[in-house]
């Protein structure tokens, strides 16, 4: 009796393990694909224009990609929960101006304190986003679209016609993105470690896994006892905080900050995240993939620049890539679902 009752369970356990292996394989292939495209791109561009792989140019690309990769980590956490944060560009702009402005008003202020202020500004914005989304039950698209313009408006009011210029910033601050270790920008190494930690958290911690569960099926996640509201709220706060820190880094990188700093970044970051294999419907993808997406996007733009393609193409290419990536992911997930179904019927027969 027990044997007969057990048989289907055991078969379905094997089936499940197989299915999981297949899903894992597909997603690893998706991330490896990005790395392969990146390698191919660098190779081809370097063959045409050797200047592209100059140490200084590589450092340049890495530092620029670093800011996007960092933003992509926060955006990934939000997108995983089937939400979206469109306000990060404006948060970055506000934080960049307010934190860099501190140097002008308080001479000798510690850089650590400036970073703390920058991230606090971001966290405050994230709190508002999270509160309105979770407690106000307003779709995150509407909340963060409104916040995009509200924060940019506040930024314009605060900045007025003025701007922060590089000469008002201390050298030790400007040098942050320029410091290198063995030829690699220190900033890129630090951010890589942060992204690694973020990816590990999402992959292996209970609360990290819960973000995926919420994105896969919000109702089921709630019924399974996952504190969905709290997790989504936290994701928005983290995304805001990261955008705040990215604002300070932006200030250090560019030196000149006016009221348009970081405008449009949200679109590039979402493009990077989606190109990196994070499903826009939530529930799948990794922070490492998103970071590679950011690196790929920056490398493409830089390669085009080196190859003499007008930078006017940048936006169109970012948009095209975003559309291509979501269409590709849709195709992959349909194929995957079909493959899993075939397998199940095969085993069932």
In the complex, which residues of this chain contact another protein (CB under 8 A)? 84, 132, 136-139, 141-143, 145-150, 152-154, 156-157, 259, 267, 270-271, 274, 280-281, 310, 312-320, 322-323, 326-327, 330, 334
User: Minimum distance from CB of 127 to another protein (Å)?
Assistant: 15
d(CA 119, CA 237) in angstroms, rounded, equals 10
Q: What is the largest distance, in Å, between two alpha-carbon atoms of the chain? A: 83
- Provide, rounded to whole angstroms, the least separation between the CB of residue 129 and another protein: 11
For another protein, the closer of residues 99 and 268 by Cβ is: 268
Q: 265-275 and 88-105 are packed helices; what angle lies between their axes, rounded to 10 degrees?
A: 130
Nearby residues of 314 by Cβ (< 8 Å), 6 or more positions away: 301, 304
Residue reference for tokens 């792989």: 53
Identify which of 341, 108, 115 has the alpha carbon closest to the alpha carbon of residue 248.
115
Q: What share of the chain is helix, strand, coil (3-state, %, to 5)?
A: 80, 0, 20
Q: Which is nearer to another protein, 19 or 145 (CB)?
A: 145
Nearer to another protein by Cβ, of 177 and 262: the residue is 262
Per residue, the 3-state secondary structure of 295-339, as one string, reads: HHHHHHHHHHHHCCCCHHHHHHHHHHHHHHHHHHHHHHHHHHHHH
Return the SS3 of 204: helix
User: Which lies closer to another protein via its Cβ, residue 146 or residue 186?
Assistant: 146
From the CB of 263, what's the least distance to another protein, in Å? 9
What is the smallest separation between the CB atom of 345 and another protein, expressed in angstroms? 23
Residue (195 or 273) nearer to another protein, CB: 273
Three state DSSP letters for 182-223: CCEEHHHHHHHHHHHHHHHHHHHCHHHHHHHHHHHCHHHHHH
The residue among 39 and 141 lying less far from another protein, judged by its C-beta, is 141
CB of 178 to another protein, least distance (A): 30
Residue 106 Cα to chain centre, angstroms: 33
CA dist 285 and 281 (Å) reads: 10
Q: How far is the CB of 221 from another protein (least distance, A)?
A: 19
> Which CB sits closer to another protein, 201 or 281?
281
Pick the closest to residue 279 from 81, 144, 21 (CA basis): 81
Which is closer to another protein, CB of 245 or CB of 270?
270
In angstroms, give the least distance from the CB of 294 to another protein. Answer: 15
C-alpha closest to that of 241 among 65, 83, 92, 86: 92
Q: Smallest distance from the beta carbon of 241 to another protein, in angstroms?
A: 21
Q: Is 286 exposed, middle or buried (0-12, 13-18, 19+ CB in 10 A)?
A: buried
Minimum distance, C-beta of residue 321 to another protein, in the bound complex (Å): 9
Closest to another protein by CB, 161 vs 225, is 161
Closest CA to 271 of 249, 299, 290, 243: 290
């Amino acid at each position: 009796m027990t044997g007969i009752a057990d048989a289907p369970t055991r078969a379905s356990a094997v089936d499940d393990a197989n299915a999981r292996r297949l899903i894992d394989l597909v997603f690893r292939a998706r991330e490896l694909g990005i790395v392969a495209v990146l390698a191919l791109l660098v190779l081809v561009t370097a063959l045409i224009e050797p200047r592209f792989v100059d140490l200084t140019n590589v450092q340049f690309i890495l530092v620029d990609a670093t800011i996007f990769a960092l933003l992509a980590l926060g955006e990934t956490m939000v997108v995983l929960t089937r939400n979206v944060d469109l306000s990060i560009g404006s948060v970055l702009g506000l934080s960049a101006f307010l934190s860099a402005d501190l140097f002008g008003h308080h001479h000798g202020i510690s850089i650590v304190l400036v970073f703390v202020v920058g991230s606090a500004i971001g966290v405050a914005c994230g709190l508002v986003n999270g509160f309105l989304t979770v407690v106000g039950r307003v779709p995150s698209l509407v909340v963060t679209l409104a916040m995009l313009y509200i924060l940019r408006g506040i930024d314009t009011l605060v900045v007025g016609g003025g701007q922060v210029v590089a000469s008002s910033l201390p050298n030790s601050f400007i040098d942050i993105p320029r410091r290198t270790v063995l030829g690699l920008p220190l900033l890129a190494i630090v951010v890589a470690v942060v992204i690694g930690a973020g990816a590990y958290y999402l992959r292996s911690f209970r609360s990290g896994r819960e973000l995926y569960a919420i994105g896969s099926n919000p109702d089921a996640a709630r019924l399974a006892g996952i504190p969905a509201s709290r997790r989504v709220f936290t994701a928005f706060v983290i995304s805001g905080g990261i955008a705040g820190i990215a604002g300070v880094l932006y200030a250090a990188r560019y030196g000149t900050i006016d009221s348009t700093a970081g405008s449009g970044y949200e679109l590039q970051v979402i493009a990077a995240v989606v190109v990196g294999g994070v499903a826009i419907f939530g529930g799948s993808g990794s922070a490492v993939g998103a970071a590679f997406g950011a690196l790929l996007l920056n490398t493409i733009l830089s390669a085009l620049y080196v190859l003499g393609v007008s930078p006017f193409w940048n936006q169109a290419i970012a948009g095209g890539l975003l559309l291509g990536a979501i269409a590709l992911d849709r195709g992959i997930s349909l194929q995957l679902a079909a493959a899993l179904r075939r397998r199940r019927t095969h085993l069932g027969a």
